[in-house]
Structure 1
Amino acid sequence: MEEFDLQSLLSSNEKVIIRLLQSYAQTNDIAVFVLGTDDHLQAGIFGDLAEGSALTRMNKMTDLSKLSVNKFKYNLEYADAPLRISSINQRVGKVCVAKDIQKGTNEEHLRAMQQLQEHVLFLRNMAESVAKLIIKDRGIDNFVIRYSLDVNEAMDELADSEGHALQQIKVMSTSNSSIISAIEYIDSNLNKRLTLDQVSSKVYLSDYYFSKLFKRETGLSFSVYLNARKIQKAMLLLKESDKSVNDISDSLGFTRLSYFSQTFKKYTGVAPTKYRTEGK
């Protein structure tokens, strides 16, 4: 089973499509955003949004399936156009534009709608043209997530054990720019209690897409990779510093010493104190 990863496309090549959408939104005083085929927001709403406007509130939502139905309720006008990937002849989402209209008359709504329809057609053609160039350069396989049926996926998870994670990260490699950025962010923030949602938002991906993409590119789930890097850092500190086990646990964002010790043993086979004593 496979699915086109629209968010990975939007974030590729230093987020070139996102930057173009942002620039267009600011230049034309409108809001621009992209929805997936499930009507979920893909990378935020672009444009200089007025504080307290409906669009500002929507920027915190993911599901905008009822936006076109409720546009008068939100005091805005809205238009969208489908996004297609020509190389696979598939609709992958839609580009959307909107504009706040405070207490607007029917004539004002009609005029705004006509203008937005012109904007959205231009943006669709621009996004599809840039996407075509990116896919031609990088290859379609970089933007397709393939995953197995539930039974096979469950078997894969069994292989994704803590025991082999430390060996896996030593040989791990990926060319996916979103995953590279995510790994750099994780490795720079090992002292924090990172979540899947936090990291995926940093690279403009939904947690669902990010989770699938991270596993595909690294061979490890997000949580296993995160803990493996923390334990790898803990091993270094236990060998090369005089910090107590409790201080090391705190410095790596673990909330309880007991949980740190359990996690350390899962990944290394020994408790932290024994690891330090035996000098492994």
Structure 2
Amino acid sequence: MEEFDIQALLSSNEKTLIRLLENYATTNHVVTYVLDNSGDLKSDIYGNTHGNQIFSELVESKNMNEITDKHVDYNLGYADKSIRISSIGQIIGRVCCVKSLDSPLNDTPGLLERQLHEHCEYLKRLIESISRLLIDNHGIGTYMIKYPVEVDDIIDELNDDDNKALQQLKKLSTSNEAIISAIEYIDENLDKHLTLDQVSSKVFLSDYYFSKLFKRETKLSFSVYLNARKIQKAMIILKQTSHSISEVSDELGFTRISYFSQTFKKYTGYTPSEFRNEDYLEI
């Protein structure tokens, strides 16, 4: 698997992007920095961080996710914009702008937030434009990290308890926009044979990062979640319609009825026929 190296991009060509971020922060009196998709800091912090004591402490501890999630509690204005590399169709991270709400220039409600969003939008476009030039000059391979397939990752997926996956769906909760979009796409396309590559590309993430993010946010691997959703819908169809088991299998994108029946039993403990015929079974 491969992942885009945002840190290599920022440091490329004698740190062109880093110098631009630093100069922009100084000129516009904001604090800027770049995070990867996991929320890890991939650049230095540019601009004056001394206007807010708590902000300075968070910056010192590199606790940038705390700023993202709780900036209002810390009296900070905050905005960010996703950075997308068009040549690979992936979001690789986000540029962030922060400023203390204690500034005397912040009397107009909402003005600072709008200004920070405008700063982020400008920096996003700037970074993406320069990135295209750097990639054209140096080649996309310069900025890609190749990861070996980890045995631990395979074991983690095997350890998913299939017969508990349906219960996990009931309590699933995430605020991550990429995962919410992925789940919506899956739910709208349960009749298709979806793959990890297809879904990750829909939310502009690499399959490597998307796989890890999906497991972190849902507590289920992509494949287990997908099958659980298909079986959950199959349970409803079996109880509420007279469709044959073969028709249900086809409606949910299974290539063979035998595989559908096998998967159904693995997730529910019953064959499709047993489930349909047992009136007391709850969905």
Q: TM-score, normalised by structure 2?
A: 0.50
Report the AA paired with residue 210 of structure 1: F
State the alpha-carbon separation in 1 of the partners of residues 86 and 190 from structure 2: 38
Shift of 1:123: 5.0
Which of 36, 47, 54 is residue 6 of structure 2 equivalent to? 36
Shift of 1:225: 0.4
State the alpha-carbon separation in 1 of the partners of residues 198 and 8 from structure 2: 21
Q: Which residue of 1 aligns with 2:34?
A: 85
Report the AA paired with residue 177 of structure 1: E
Q: Which residue of 2 aligns with 1:168?
A: 168
Shift of 1:91: 4.3
Mapped contact 1:162–1:266 kept (Cα < 8 A):
yes
Q: Which residue of 2 aligns with 1:140?
A: none
Q: Which residue of 1 aligns with 2:226?
A: 226
> Are residue 241 (structure 1) and residue 193 (structure 2) matched?
no
Q: Which residue of 1 aligns with 2:216?
A: 216
| Distance change (3 Å), C-alpha of 1:200 and 1:167 | same
Q: Give the SS at the match of 1:85.
A: strand
Counting only pairs closer than 5 Å after superposition, residues 13-162 of structure 1 correspond to structure 2 as: 36-37=6-7, 81=17, 85=34, 90-91=42-43, 123=123, 127=127, 156-162=156-162
Shift of 1:156: 4.1
State the alpha-carbon separation in 1 of the partners of residues 253 and 158 from structure 2: 26
State the alpha-carbon separation in 2 of the partners of residues 278 and 95 from structure 1: 51
> Are residue 188 (structure 1) and residue 188 (structure 2) matched?
yes
State the alpha-carbon separation in 1 of the partners of residues 86 and 234 from structure 2: 48
Q: Give the SS at the match of 1:90.
A: coil
State the alpha-carbon separation in 2 of the partners of residues 211 and 190 from structure 1: 19
Percent identity at matched positions? Answer: 57
Mapped contact 1:35–1:95 kept (Cα < 8 A):
no
State the alpha-carbon separation in 2 of the partners of residues 37 and 157 from structure 1: 29
Q: Which residue of 1 aligns with 2:202?
A: 202
Mapped contact 1:214–1:220 kept (Cα < 8 A):
yes
| Distance change (3 Å), C-alpha of 1:88 and 1:250 | closer
| Distance change (3 Å), C-alpha of 1:96 and 1:247 | closer
Report the AA paired with residue 233 of structure 1: K
Mapped contact 1:80–1:96 kept (Cα < 8 A):
no
Counting only pairs closer than 5 Å after superposition, residues 249-264 of structure 1 correspond to structure 2 as: 249-264=249-264
Shift of 1:161: 1.8
| Distance change (3 Å), C-alpha of 1:96 and 1:245 | closer
Count of aligned pairs between the two proteins = 165
Taking only aligned residues, the RMSD between alpha carbons, in angstroms, comes to 3.7
State the alpha-carbon separation in 2 of the partners of residues 96 and 236 from structure 1: 41
Shift of 1:160: 1.4
State the alpha-carbon separation in 1 of the partners of residues 124 and 8 from structure 2: 18
| Distance change (3 Å), C-alpha of 1:193 and 1:154 | closer
Mapped contact 2:6–2:42 kept (Cα < 8 A):
no
State the alpha-carbon separation in 2 of the partners of residues 170 and 97 from structure 1: 36
Mapped contact 1:80–1:95 kept (Cα < 8 A):
no
| Distance change (3 Å), C-alpha of 1:262 and 1:80 | farther
Q: Which residue of 1 aligns with 2:111?
A: none
State the alpha-carbon separation in 2 of the partners of residues 241 and 80 from structure 1: 62
Shift of 1:157: 3.5
State the alpha-carbon separation in 2 of the partners of residues 218 and 89 from structure 1: 24
Q: Give the SS at the match of 2:193.
A: coil
State the alpha-carbon separation in 2 of the partners of residues 183 and 262 from structure 1: 24
| Distance change (3 Å), C-alpha of 1:277 and 1:185 | same
Report the AA paired with residue 34 of structure 2: I
| Distance change (3 Å), C-alpha of 1:159 and 1:88 | closer
Q: Give the SS at the match of 1:253.
A: coil
Flag as ranges the 4+ runs of structure 1 deviating above 3 A: 34-39, 79-84, 86-89, 94-98, 122-128, 150-159
Q: TM-score, normalised by structure 1?
A: 0.50
State the alpha-carbon separation in 2 of the partners of residues 184 and 88 from structure 1: 26
Shift of 1:278: 1.3
State the alpha-carbon separation in 1 of the partners of residues 151 and 198 from structure 2: 29
State the alpha-carbon separation in 1 of the partners of residues 86 and 244 from structure 2: 55
State the alpha-carbon separation in 2 of the partners of residues 249 and 202 from structure 1: 25
